[in-house]
Amino acid sequence: MKVNLDLFGSTRTFSLSILDSSIGDIALETPSISYNSTINEPFKRFMREESLTLIPVVKEDFVIGQLHRNRFLENIVLGKFGYGIHLNSRKSVSEVMEKPSFMLDYSITLEQAAHMIQSRQIKNLYDDIIVTKKERYYGLVPINILLEAITQKSIVLAKDANPLTGMPGNWAIQREVEKRIKDQISFDVSYIDINNFKPYNDVYGFNMGDKAIIYLGIAILETITGVKNAFAGHIGGDDFIIITNPQDSFKIAENAIQIFESYLPDLHGEDFLKGYYTSKNRKGEEEVFELLTIACAIVSNENLTIKSYGQLASISADAKSEAKKRSKFYKKSYIFKERRKVF
C-alpha cells in the first residue's frame, strides 16, 4: 500500500502495509551529527534545511543527545543578549546538546508509540521521535507523520469493518491469522455461524435476520472482552470467527452460544413458546425448524500444521461441515473441535 503523507508542505510517499506498520516503517532517514562536531555544523544545517526540527547526536551510531531547532537557535546561537554564537562558537555539540527526549525501538507499533508520547514533558511534547534499531540510530518520526499514519490505518480498518456489526472484516482477520503464524504462536480458530439462517430470514424477514446477526456479534464481543490475545471478526452474513489461545476457545464458544440463546425470545416472538417455526427448505418444501442454534467449528495449529490463511480456510472446511452435521443431529447448538493431527 502507498501512503501519501504531507510533510512540511511537500508530499512524501511511504511504501508499507499500514495495518502491519511499526514506528520504524514511517521513520525518515534524517542524518545525525557527531558529538564532537562544532556547533557551526548544526547551525548551518538548520539554516539550510528549514523543515529540519531535530538533529540526533550520536557517538559511534549510538544516540547520546539531540539538538532541537528552536531551543538550539534561541539558547545557543542567539543567547540571552544576542551573543550566543560568539560565546559558544568554539564549543562542541556534546557541550550544548540536550538529552534525547524520546527514543523508541524500530519494532514499536504505531498505537504503542502514540500512547507512550503522552507521558512526555510538555516542553518536549512535539519533539520528533528518535527511532533506533538494535540500539543504533535509525531515523526520525515527526509527530505529524505519526498522527497521519495512525489516521490512515484507522481509515483502512474502518473501510474493512463489517457495516452491520462494525467488527473487523476479512482483511483484518487474515492479517491476524498470518501474524500469529509468523510469530509461531499457538492458537485456536473458532468458526461460528447460525444454523438454518436462510429459512429464518425467509419467515421473519431481513430486519430480524440482521438483528440475529447483530445479537451474535454482541454475544461474541461480550465473551472475548478481557480475554488475553482474543480477536473476533465478522467474515460476512452470519459467519463469524474468533481467534484465541488454545485453552480459551471452547469456553468462549460456550459462553457466546449461551448469550446468543438468551436473545431467542426476542428473535422468535410467539414461536419461542412453541419451540419451532415453519419455513421452506432449500427444496422449496415446507419444513419444521427448531429455534435458532449455533454451529461452532474449532481448529488449532497445535495439532494442525498451518502455514497460511488460505491453508487454514481449506482444512477448516471439514470441521465446519462436521459441526453443522452434529448440530442438526442433536437439534441444538454444537461445538466441534478438530482433534485429528494433520501435517
Domain boundaries, the chain: 2-151, 162-337
Q: What angle do CA 333, 336, 337 make, to 5 degrees?
A: 150
Instruction: Give the chain's end-to-end CA distance (angstroms, integer).
Output: 34
The whole model's pTM is what?
0.64
CA 95 distance to own-chain centroid: 43
Q: Averaged over 226-238, what is the pLDDT?
A: 94
Residue written as cell 473441535? 337
For 56-86, give the DSSP string: EEEETTEEEEEEEHHHIIIIIII-TTS-HHH
Looking at residue 101, the DSSP 8-state letter turns out to be S
- pLDDT value, residue 11: 40
Residues in Cβ contact with 64 at an 8 Å cutoff, skipping those fewer than 6 apart: 35, 57, 58, 94, 97, 100
In which band, very low, low, confident or very high, does the pLDDT at 313 lie, cut at 50, 70 and 90? confident
Task: Compute the average pLDDT of residues 311-340.
Answer: 90
| Cα(110)–Cα(129) distance, integer angstroms | 12
Q: pLDDT tens-digit profile of 188-214?
A: 999 999 999 999 999 999 999 999 999
What is the model's pLDDT at position 85? Answer: 67
Residue 9 has pLDDT above 50, yes or no: no
Residue 6 has pLDDT above 60, yes or no: no
pLDDT at residue 151 in the model: 85
Q: Which residue has the cell 429459512?
A: 199
State residue 4's pLDDT score: 41
Give the per-residue pLDDT at 340. 57
Among the residue ranges 75-89, 120-134, 320-334, the one predicted with the least confidence is 75-89
The tens digit of pLDDT for each residue in 23-52 reads 999 999 999 999 999 988 999 999 999 999
CB 334 within 8 A of CB 230: no
Distant-in-sequence, close-in-space partners of 168: CB < 8 Å, separation ≥ 6 = 157, 160, 161, 162, 176, 231, 232, 233, 234
- The CA distance from 297 to 336, in Å, is 5
> Quick one: pLDDT at residue 107?
92
Query: 162-337 has which CATH code?
Result: 3.30.70.270
Within a 13 Å sphere around the CA of 266, how many CA atoms are in the beta-carbon half? 15
Q: Is CATH 3.10.580.10 the right assignment for the domain spanning 2-151?
A: yes
Write down the pLDDT at residue 81: 55
